[in-house]
Chains A and B, each alone.
Chain A
Amino acid sequence: MDLNLVIAGEAGQGLQTLEEIIGKALYRQGYNVFSHKDYMSRVRGGHNFMQIRFGNGEFHSPREEIDILVALNQDGVENHQQRVQPEGYILFDGKAENERIISVPAKELAQRVNPKAANTVFLGVLWQLLNFELEELKKVIKEKFPKEEVQQDNLELLQAGYDSVEAGFEVEEPSRSGGEGYLFLEGNQAIGLGAALAGVQFYSAYPMTPSTGILNYLAYRQDKLGIAVEQAEDEIAAINMALGASFAGARAMTGTSGGGFSLMTEAFGLAGLMETPLVIAETMRPGPATGMPTRTAQGDLNFVINASQDEFPLKVIAPRDQEDAFYQTFRAFNLAEKYQMPVVILGDQFLSDSASTVPEFKLDELEIARYLIDEDNWPEGKEYQRYEFTDDGISPRAYPGQLSDEVVLVDSHEHFQTGRISEDKDIRKAMVDKRARKFEKQRREDTLEPYYSGPEKPEVLMVGFGSTYGPMLEVQQQLADEGESVGMLSFNDVWPLPTAELEKRNAYNTHLVVIENNSTGQFSRLITAYTEMGADYRMLKYDGRPFTTDELYNRMKDEVKY
């Protein structure tokens, strides 16, 4: 079973609340859920829609075909009805112009109870059509509306909607008896939770879609976490504050999207030169400049890898999905401290704003490693030098005040081992080499090979990074079921680029299809630069929307030879 619900309407109509309630209730009933927001950069009006896909299969991406459309306005009907499949329904508070439309008198019913709760009538109708019991849904509604009267009004309207229609769908029983063993969360929440459990102590950011969810998550929980979250005056301040906090010995992070990251680039290099650990979430949206604030893209890959002048070690990780976003954010903190360098979590709107059911996180396996010096075991009489030369390029890291009578001096100029400003040519070369050794070590020891699914030697190899994982995985499985020899390789570590798995899967006759959300094939070029492999086909999408499974499947059929 693979059902697709779409809720469409305008900004301000409560779509997001409906999406959250439906998603959570379905997940609690034991289904797998994948939900995605398609919204405009405005507070009122326009046209937005939420897609919620659920069932017992593994879902990692949106689908085109709609089973039930909940249209909160006329535009909602008009924009989506052609995608509603023949046995599907359209719920609409208005005249039923064709037999698929079920007229839901939500406003009329709500008028008598609570006009603000009209949307809940739709929930009732929906649950009846799906032949579900109301139990889990009621619980979620109660959690969502803690006020007693509001709860009552909603439950009354829910029942009214439920009783107004008859069951419509033959729905498979969920394969699980409930949500147990699983979680349901959005990408931004996964990043926030990853940071929280990694022990982030300072987060500063300037609001920018689609990264703001991370700021919201941490700000809301800062009291409980005992940490500081600050909305900075601009992104330049945000990243520089985070660096100050990191210098003080705390785990620090900032988050933004491409425009804000553009402002951060000078300090990004500062983190590299100062060798100050920092985690930065860059959630991509189409650009350049303001671009499309609420849409998705993977166009900042080259920019992020090359951000800031000159050369310094850094790492870029593009989480594949909500589960990966959690683990990679956690890992980013350890790597930033191990190598004393900036680590970027490169997400995008599709990852940030999509929610999915994921297996519960393995909390016991998460280990925080700080890599600070131990002040009790510092050799007696040894001078502390922040940039001491070592074999692997990693110098002992202390924070100010940690060693009595010693100073910690970090500097944005090229510097001596002590941190003091230097223009000496030999020191300059030695410092560049020292930083390069850290990068080498990182490349050797801490690079994750991409995830592979498919036969040992596929004839066609789909390759992508980050959030294209979901649609790629689904399409690979569909094609494999049809007997095609196709594999998919999804990278999360993109810089430095791991190459072993790619080289292993790419036999001399493999047809390499690189799939990405930008217009020039940045990832494909990166692969060529580091492996001398060329893409046989670049499948690009740059309309601001993510790949849907159907779309990718059709494009594989149409554009790639089978």
Chain B
Amino acid sequence: MLEKDIYEPDRNTAWCPGCGNFPLRKALAEALAELEIHTDDFVMFSGIGQAAKMPHYFKSNAFNGLHGRALPPAIGFRMVNPTMKVIVESGDGDTYGEGGNHLLHNIRRNPDIAHFVHNNQIYGLTKGQASPTTGTDIKTKVQPHGVTGEPFNPVRFAVGMRASFVARGFVSERDQLVKLMKEALQHRGYALVDILQPCVTFNKVNTYKWYAQNSYILNDDYDPTDYQSAVQKAEEWDEGIPLGIIYREEKPIFRDKFFNLSDELLVDYPRPVDREEFMREFS
């Protein structure tokens, strides 16, 4: 097993003391270490937000791109590089707000990507506005009369689209979270893991305590391959938030459909083409 500190625990972070991002980072480091995924073997993609700063607190190849746009570059990378693990780290605003369209279409594509969403049900970095997952009627500086819309349920959405791997974790359920992350990293296809991650500064409703009181770990006899029960589970929230793998289904991955691509890196030099032949099409 590899040492667990590829995440460089001494590094200064921009996170608040007690932030749910700390246990999340630790869990990811542990999952990677247990799977013996070395620095050379994975790349992280992120957008913008407190969650999306994750790659800066690891020793990792990374592309820290634009707000909402973590998935598209990950897809481009995935097409070119079929071997390294591709991990996407992003916040709830990043993923479900600004980047919503990409989420939808990447479920359709089913690329081999593990996506860890830090869902603190708030915009942390921009200091406390509602996110797509903030509960109805919750008041913020920008929503003084409370959030008007209904919260987006990413798990229900992804199950509805029959995403090939849908899970929910909670940072305080450390052992389960590491397990979920390992499963997601090993899953061949798009794995969406929505992770409940308290924002200690701006979300005074969905606290560690609140999540602990309102969530439960799915029984071992729950069958995530059964679509109908997954739909039911995914609906649950007010009556208790289920944690675990909600749905999984084996499907071909995006790159499989490009049968013309080799299994090797498309990098060093392009496959030599017969230039003359391509030109002759126009004579």
Contact = CB atoms under 8 A, between A and B. Distances in A.
B271 interface: yes
Contacts of A243: 63, 65, 73, 76
A223 B80 contact: no
Contacts of B265: 248-249, 401
B2 to A, nearest CB: 12
B283 interface: yes
B33 interface: no
B72 interface: yes
Interface stretch (B37-45, B160-168, B221-229, B244-252): B37-45
Interface in B52-83: 53, 55-56, 59-66, 69, 71-81, 83
A189 B280 CA distance: 12
Interface string A487-498: 000000000000
Contacts of A407: 39, 59-62
Nearest to A204: B76
A223 B273 contact: no
Interface in A390-422: 399-401, 404-405, 407-413, 419-421
A285 interface: no
Given A249-B265, A250-B267, A400-B81, A409 B282 contact: no
A247 B266 contact: no
B48 interface: yes
Nearest to A181: B283
Contacts of B59: 407
B260 interface: yes
B102 interface: yes
B261 to A, nearest CB: 6
Query: Which of A199, A233, A240, A408 has the largest number of chain B CB atoms within 10 A?
Result: A240
B65 A412 contact: yes
Contact of B76 (A245, A274, A361, A420): A245
Nearest to A201: B266
B43 A420 contact: no
A237 B102 contact: yes
Interface residues of B, number: 54
Query: Which of B43, B60, B77, B269 has the largest number of chain A CB atoms within 10 A?
Result: B77
Contacts of B279: 183, 193, 197, 360-361, 363
A413 B53 CA distance: 10
Contacts of B73: 240-241, 243-244, 247
Given A202-B79, A249-B80, A252-B76, A244 B269 contact: no
Contacts of B64: 409-413, 421
A370 interface: yes
Contacts of A236: 69, 72
Interface in B123-162: none
Given A226-B260, A248-B77, A410-B63, A199 B270 contact: yes
Query: Which of B60, B75, B271, B276 has the largest number of chain A CB atoms within 10 A?
Result: B75
Given A251-B270, A361-B279, A400-B84, A267 B66 contact: yes
A226 B258 CA distance: 9
Query: Which of A250, A361, A411, A421 has the largest number of chain B CB atoms within 10 A?
Result: A250
Nearest to A243: B73
A44 interface: no
Contacts of B53: 421
B81 A401 contact: yes
Nearest to B275: A363
A226 B102 contact: no
Nearest to B68: A236
B101 interface: yes
B66 A401 contact: no
Contact of B275 (A244, A249, A366): A366
Given A183-B279, A245-B80, 17 more contacts: A183-B283, A197-B279, A199-B270, A201-B266, A222-B258, A225-B273, A226-B260, A226-B261, A237-B71, A237-B75, A240-B73, A245-B77, A274-B63, A360-B279, A363-B279, A400-B77, A401-B84
Interface of B: 39-41, 43, 45, 48, 53, 55-56, 59-66, 69, 71-81, 83-84, 101-102, 104-105, 258-262, 265-271, 273, 275-276, 278-279, 282-283
12 contacts: A184-B283, A197-B278, A199-B270, A200-B270, A202-B80, A226-B261, A237-B75, A240-B69, A246-B76, A247-B77, A409-B64, A410-B62
3 tightest A-B contacts by CB? A244-B73, A244-B76, A199-B270
